[in-house]
């Protein structure tokens, strides 16, 4: 399937299509009166620091992420090692997910 639709998949960040944030804006519906959470900073192993900075710079350059001046919600980065040894960056959105309104019509189970 990947071979058949190879043009629909991306192998690097530069191939991903981004959007103009001045045109498109996404808001997350929150539960009313939910207090913002700023997670305590987690320590990152010093050996991973350069890999994480490199990955963040790739994401910034590809315009997948962008700097935010301030936010009342702060979540930690979670570095995950790929099979090839590279680092994939994830975010711990546990607190934010708890404060989000749930969909009235959830997706059916994927088979």
Secondary-structure breakdown of the chain: helix, strand, coil percentages, each rounded to the nearest 5: 25, 15, 60
64 burial class (0-12, 13-18, 19+ CB within 10 angstroms)? exposed
pLDDT in tens, 28-62: 899 999 999 999 999 999 999 999 999 999 989 88
**pLDDT band (50, 70, 90) for residue 111:** confident
Whether pTM > 0.75 for this model: the answer is no
**pLDDT band (50, 70, 90) for residue 16:** confident
Sequence ranges of the domains in the chain: 6-99
Fold of 6-99: HIV Type 1 Reverse Transcriptase; Chain A, domain 1 (3.10.10)
Three-state DSSP at 58 gives helix
CA distances to 15, 77, 87, 96 from 80, rounded to whole Å, are 22, 10, 6, 20
């Amino acid at each position: 399937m990947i071979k058949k639709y190879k043009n629909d998949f991306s192998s690097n960040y530069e191939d991903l299509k981004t959007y103009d944030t001045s045109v498109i804006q996404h808001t997350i519906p929150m539960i009313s009166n939910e207090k913002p959470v700023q997670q305590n900073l987690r320590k990152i192993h010093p050996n991973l620091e350069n890999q994480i900075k490199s990955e963040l710079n790739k994401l910034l350059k590809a315009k997948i992420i962008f700097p935010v001046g301030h936010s009342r919600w702060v979540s930690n980065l979670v570095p995950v090692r790929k099979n090839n040894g590279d680092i994939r960056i994830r975010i711990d959105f546990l607190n934010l997910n708890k404060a989000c309104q749930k969909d009235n019509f959830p997706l059916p189970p994927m088979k």
